[in-house]
Structure 1
Amino acid sequence: MATQTTTERPPEVKSVTEYPELGRTGRPYVPARSLNTDYPLIDSDPHFTRVLRYARASDYYAGTAFSALMPSVMLYWERISPSEVGRAGFSSIMRLSTGLGLISGFYLFYSRSINRFYGFSENRREIDLDMREMTDRVKKGEPLYGVSTLTEYMQGAASRQSRYAGTFMHVMPWFNFVNHSQHGVDTAKYYRNAEKELEAERSGVSA
């Protein structure tokens, strides 16, 4: 009689912390708030590097164009209405405007990418990338959201500080640099898809 095999779930985040937690840390899990969005939620608190990896070419174009806008405007103004501050003075103005332009361009680039994780804009490509990445991790037996040196309690604290932080980036830039398991989505879909692919692979080999 054939037995059905199932994929054993690894922890969603592997903690490599070697010291015990101090004090009372058994606070209940605080789920991420569900927002009404036009597109499916991928991740309510994506890691900084993941937002960069999932960015589209259009995000790079928009960020680059926006970065060049401020120094270009300063050059234009200097041409039609000279400031008469001298070469050294205008060089300082250009350095400042270029720096502010680069920061503003990066914020625009990052916001466009992270909004797709939140489901605020069309994200079909990102949904497919997310499913592919997480399914491959399940099939390899790797934790879905990487390895962390923080305890489970501190991972939760970090998550609560940066959920949907991208919506407030124009006021206070705040990024998630912590690997944790609290992302506001049901991760069972990744395991189901991995099971489906593994079963298809086994059927193909046996055939």
Structure 2
Amino acid sequence: MSVSDVNNLATPYPVVDADPHFNRVLANLRTQDYLLWGGATAFAPGAIYGMELADPTKLGRAGLRPTLRLATWLGFAGGFLLAYQNASLRLWGWKENAAEQEQDRAELTARAKAGQALYGESELPEYIQGVAHRNSMWSQLKFGVLPWFNFVNHPFHGTDPAKYKEDA
């Protein structure tokens, strides 16, 4: 998908941001995302401990402790990726996103009124911003292979920036 095709997305809900910055996704995490993250963090060591109770490995407490720590870390990381993906799906318009639309309209209209760049300033050349966009677009769908996030401010977000300037 080229940069120009991003504006032609057909989604069940309005697109808020087709390639959101890492910080923007975190700002749009809902309570349900935090609960999912916490549940995954608790589930991983709980599953290991439950399997140990069902079929003991005879490691004892000292031997089980590093396994539980690793399981907790993996549950934490996996839960974060799930929560991040859920927030991204809402920003993409693939899930219900009324709260995100409201927050986006308020935030970007305020930035337009203040004369600021809608999606932040970047010192990178436009070509490199495009490369970063093409590398991070839809990356949340490939977290199982390679966790990849958008850390670059760029103008390619699949929405018409004029709508924020009209409201300003």
TM-score by length of 2: 0.93
Structure 2's unaligned 5+ residue stretches are none
Q: 1:99: how far off? A: 1.1
Counterpart in the other structure of 1:49: 23
| Equivalent runs, 1:1-207 vs 2, <5 Å | 30-33=3-6, 34-194=8-168
8 Å CA contact 2:9–2:158 kept in 1: the answer is: no
Take 2:103 and 2:97, find their aligned partners in 1: how far apart are those partners?
Answer: 10
Q: Give 1:170 shift.
A: 2.6
Q: Write the distance in 2 (CA, Å) between the matches of 1:117 and 1:53.
A: 11
Query: Matched residues in 2 for 1:193 and 1:49: separation?
Result: 24
Considering fraction of residues, name the structure with more helix.
2
| Cα distance in structure 2, aligned partners of 1:44 and 1:164 | 8
Which residue identity does 2:25 align to in structure 1? V
Query: Greater shift after overlay, 31-40 or 148-157?
Result: 31-40
SS in 1 for 2:4: coil
- 1:117-160 alpha-carbon deviations (Å, 9 max, x no partner): 11110001000100100000011111111111211111111111
Could you tell me the TM-score, scaled by structure 1's length? Answer: 0.76
Shift >6 Å, 4+ stretches: none
- Encode CA deviations 1:106-126: one digit per residue, 9 max, x unaligned: 011101111001111000100
Amino acid at match of 1:157: V
- Alpha-carbon distance, 1:173 to partner: 1.1
2:36–2:83 CA contact under 8 A, matched in 1 = yes
Contact 1:70 1:98 in 2 (8 A): yes
Question: Contact 1:71–1:101 at 8 Å: present in 2 too?
Answer: yes
